[in-house]
Amino acid sequence: MATAAKGVVLLDFWVSPFGQRCRIALAEKGVEYEYKEENLWDKSPLLLKANPVHKKIPVLIHEGNPICESLVIVQYIDEVWSNNPLLPSDPYERAQARFWADFVDKKIYECGTRLWKLKGEAQEEARKDMIEILKLLEGELGDKKYFGGETFGFVDVAFVPFSAWFYSYETCGNFSVEKECPKLVAWAKRCMERESVSKSLHDPHKVHEFVGHLKKMYGVE
């Protein structure tokens, strides 16, 4: 590795919600790290060496060791830096947190992609699915301050980066997240009051502009 054996490096891509999870977790723990922006259309030798299996960001490199997969990285960060724990201490509550983080992982990105990529009936189905997914998450949040209860936790970290995509989902799918899931919108606003989140997420209009570029690339209009 070209980087120092000690220290923390994050290989990332500016708009990636998966990368943002790692940025938020590191910030919550107050860990200093070197951020390296990757060009996904021209991946660096470092990235290809650090993640030979998937060749994807994010990758956290700690003391020369690469860790891949965003939720694996967040759990690693939580275990190495034990201040401000992201996962609760009770095993049952930890299982609930892992379930919901896994739910976000399996559902949101895939459905979101269908929303901007597809048209007609398929897009309409994606819209219905997205609303259902968001409502389920809102049900889990309930009247809590965060998914983690009083404390900002694992599920919050896993889900909040996607809040910057709500505007894009709404626009592509022709619905209103605020109307369908007002508690989620309120939750996202509360999360944005945390510096770890506000400094990691991008303006929703910038995200939507990025989606516009993707659409052009895939020939979607």
Partner 1 sequence: MVSGGEVKLFGMWASPAVRRVEWALKLKGIKYEYVEEDISNKSGALVQYNPINKQVPVLLHNGKPIVESLVILEYIDEVWKHHPILPKDPYERAMARFWAAYSEDKCRDAVRRVFFAEGGERAKAIECLEETLRALDGELEGKEFFGGENIGFSDLVLGWMAFWLGVSEEVASFEVLDPKKFPWFTSWIDNFLQVPAIKENLPPRDKTVAFFHGYRRLHLAAPNC
Distance between CA atoms of 60 and 63, rounded to whole angstroms?
10
**Residue 86 or 197 with smaller CB distance to partner 1:** 86
Residue 4 binds to partner 1 (criterion: CB under 8 A): no
- Residues 86-125, interacting with partner 1 (CB under 8 A): 91-92, 94-95, 98-99, 102-103
Determine whether 107 is exposed, middle or buried from the number of CB atoms within 10 Å of its CB (0-12, 13-18, 19+).
Answer: middle
Residue 62 binds to partner 1 (criterion: CB under 8 A): yes
Residue 65 binds to partner 1 (criterion: CB under 8 A): yes
Binding residues for partner 1, total number by CB under 8 A: 22
- Residues 134-153, interacting with partner 1 (CB under 8 A): 136
Question: What is the residue whose two structure tokens read 């003391």?
Answer: 63
Distance between CA atoms of 66 and 135, rounded to whole angstroms?
36
Distance between CA atoms of 214 and 212, rounded to whole angstroms?
5
Helix (H, G, I), strand (E, B) or coil at 126: helix
**Residue 39 or 89 with smaller CB distance to partner 1:** 89
The stretch among 16-24, 60-68, 177-185, 188-196 that binds partner 1 (CB under 8 A) is 60-68
Smallest gap from Cβ 54 to partner 1, in A, equals: 8
The stretch among 5-13, 64-72, 157-165, 210-218 that binds partner 1 (CB under 8 A) is 64-72
Order of strands across the sheet that contains 8-12: 34-37, 8-12, 59-62, 65-68
Residue 17 has a CB neighbour count (10 Å cut-off) of 23
- Selected from 27, 31, 80, 214, the binder of partner 1 by CB under 8 A is 80
Look at residues 186, 187, 183, 184 and name the one whose alpha carbon lies nearest to residue 152. 187
Residue 45 binds to partner 1 (criterion: CB under 8 A): no
Strands 8-12 and 65-68: unpaired
Q: Which residues bind partner 1 (CB under 8 A)?
A: 53, 62, 65, 67-69, 71-73, 75-76, 79-80, 91-92, 94-95, 98-99, 102-103, 136
